[in-house]
């Protein structure tokens, strides 16, 4: 089974023809992305995003439903709940680190075989939990499933990068929004069956759904192989106002195709990558601190239980919606500037949480939680998009996989470090530090520039429209 649409190997190896694209950019050529994609695929490129988003939604229970199944699992195995405490930490590690080899493979061989492996790991992991009889089996099964989640994450995000160089922010936003909100139906189902007697069938059913959705995705997904935009051949552009997908038919060549295609090794030799890494680490830490601790922070100020519940309930909705809204904004405006403003606001609203909590202003507290998450959560949209802008689309999967490892550090900060800080200095300084990290990430974005050899001129990360 070939992974590519035209290349038997399924490789996307020449999807970033830097020499040809540089020539096209210099002559001011425009490209009909939607039309070219339809010629290659035989159908609208948006179906690639639908498949990617469906897969992201399918594997989201690993991140968002663990708290709903850990108690019945512990009761079934007759163990104390703290014995399962490291399961979610291992999920974060395996989900992040598995993306490096997965991204390397995907850039060279395409997404299909990789997605099939992820279907077996993630679907099989949840099905296996239904039959686990010992603690070590839970750890092994959840960790194997987490590797599958990492594979799907890098495949889905970079499907948007490769097929939508003109709308990377919006399309990565759709996929990551699905990951944030995909468990909305699963969590109530699992909580309704959170008993020793009922949970095995519920977990098994969720696992089977994961398996089926990912197998369908493995069949549908492919990468653009070769010079799919016709830049090397000098093919004429297809002019017109509206394509069959309701998209604008032509647009200026996108930044991810216009400049040099950096390998991961080349990327690591640029100072811009390490600044992006520090920014990702800072904003991911600030983001996860709120996600993991918003209820306890509200309780610290003595806010009503309904305030804490409302904040925890509305938080993922704000996070999911922001990824589409601000992802689209980053496509239409300078991406670096959108990122800078977004992270600065995220920091200011986090500091505002301290003020509203101390003032016992419950409604304002909930509003600021939503605003704080609205402006920090798109980090999972901004970073893959700006990384493709600066370093090209050809190696986007392996390049972003390296950057994504910063999430491990963010998770450590939100968990272990935050716990230590709360115990030593208290909640207010700890949340103030989270706000300071977000502010620092926003200010750092101001000095970002494309690498000197990228060939992007004065456009600092904005995707051309």
**Residue 142, token pair as written in the block:** 């959840």
Which residues, listed in sequence order, are joined to residue 255 by a DSSP beta bridge?
A: none
Chain segment 268-321, per-residue pLDDT in tens: 999 999 999 999 999 988 888 887 778 778 888 888 888 887 887 788 788 888
What is residue 170's three-state secondary structure?
Answer: helix
Chain segment 398-438, per-residue pLDDT in tens: 888 889 888 888 877 777 787 788 888 888 998 999 999 99
Q: Which residue has the tokens 């959108």?
A: 338
Angle formed at CA 254 by CA 253 and CA 258, multiple of 5 degrees: 75
Contacts with 263 (C-beta within 8 Å, 6 or more apart), sequence order: 395
Task: Output the pLDDT for position 231.
Answer: 61
Chain segment 96-147, per-residue pLDDT in tens: 888 888 888 887 888 889 999 999 999 999 999 999 888 899 899 999 999 9
- The CATH architecture of the domain made up of 260-454 is Up-down Bundle (1.20)
Residue 440 has pLDDT above 90, yes or no: yes
What's the count of helices (H) and strands (E) in the chain, helices before strands?
23, 2
Q: Which residue has the tokens 């089977």?
A: 208
Chain segment 355-377, per-residue pLDDT in tens: 999 998 889 999 999 999 999 98
The CATH 1.20.1250.20 portion of the chain extends over 18-220, 260-454
Which residues, listed in sequence order, are joined to residue 30 by a DSSP beta bridge?
A: 252
Threshold 0.95, pTM exceeds:
no
CATH class of 18-220: mainly alpha
Residue 439 has pLDDT above 90, yes or no: yes
Task: Output the pLDDT for position 20.
Answer: 35
């Amino acid at each position: 089974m070939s992974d590519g649409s035209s290349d038997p190997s399924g490789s996307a190896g020449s999807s970033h023809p830097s020499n040809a694209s540089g020539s096209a950019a210099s002559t001011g050529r425009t490209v009909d992305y939607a039309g070219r994609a339809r010629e290659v695929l035989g159908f609208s490129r948006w179906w690639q995003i639908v498949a990617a988003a469906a897969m992201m939604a399918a594997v989201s229970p690993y991140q968002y439903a663990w708290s709903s199944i850990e108690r019945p699992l512990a009761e079934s195995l007759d163990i104390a709940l703290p014995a399962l405490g490291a399961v979610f930490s291992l999920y974060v590690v395996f989900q992040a680190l598995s993306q490096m080899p997965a991204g390397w493979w995907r850039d060279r061989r395409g997404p299909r075989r990789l997605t099939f492996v992820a279907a077996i790991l993630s679907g099989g992991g949840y099905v296996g939990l239904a039959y686990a009889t010992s603690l070590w089996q839970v750890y092994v099964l959840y960790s194997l499933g987490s590797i599958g989640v990492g594979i799907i994450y890098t495949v889905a995000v970079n499907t948007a990068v490769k097929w939508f160089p003109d709308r990377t922010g919006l399309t990565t936003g759709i996929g990551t929004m699905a990951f944030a909100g995909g468990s909305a139906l699963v969590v109530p189902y699992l909580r309704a069956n959170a008993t020793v007697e009922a949970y095995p069938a519920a977990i098994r059913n969720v696992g089977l759904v994961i398996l089926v959705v990912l197998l369908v995705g493995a069949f549908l997904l492919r990468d653009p192989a070769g010079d799919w935009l016709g830049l090397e051949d000098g093919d004429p552009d297809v002019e017109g106002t509206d394509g069959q997908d309701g998209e604008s038919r032509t647009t200026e060549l996108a930044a991810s195709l216009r400049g040099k295609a950096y390998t991961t090794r080349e990327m690591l030799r640029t100072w811009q990558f390490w600044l992006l890494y520090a920014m990702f680490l800072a904003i991911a830490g600030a983001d996860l601190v709120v996600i993991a601790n918003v209820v306890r922070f509200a309780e610290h100020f003595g806010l009503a239980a309904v305030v804490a519940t409302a904040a925890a309930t509305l938080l993922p909705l704000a996070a999911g919606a922001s990824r589409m809204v601000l992802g689209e904004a980053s496509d239409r405006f300078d991406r670096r500037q959108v990122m800078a403003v977004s992270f600065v606001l995220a920091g200011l609203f986090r500091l505002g949480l301290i003020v509203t909590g101390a003032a016992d202003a419950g409604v304002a507290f909930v509003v600021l939680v939503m605003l704080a998450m609205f402006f920090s959560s798109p980090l999972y949209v901004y970073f893959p998009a700006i990384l493709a802008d600066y370093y090209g689309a050809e190696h986007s999967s392996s390049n972003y996989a390296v950057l994504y490892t910063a999430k491990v550090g963010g998770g450590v900060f939100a968990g272990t470090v935050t716990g230590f800080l709360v115990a030593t200095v208290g909640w207010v300084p700890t949340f103030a530090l989270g706000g300071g990290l977000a502010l620092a990430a926003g200010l750092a974005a101001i000095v970002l520039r494309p690498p000197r050899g990228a060939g992007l001129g004065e456009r600092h990360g904005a995707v051309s429209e």
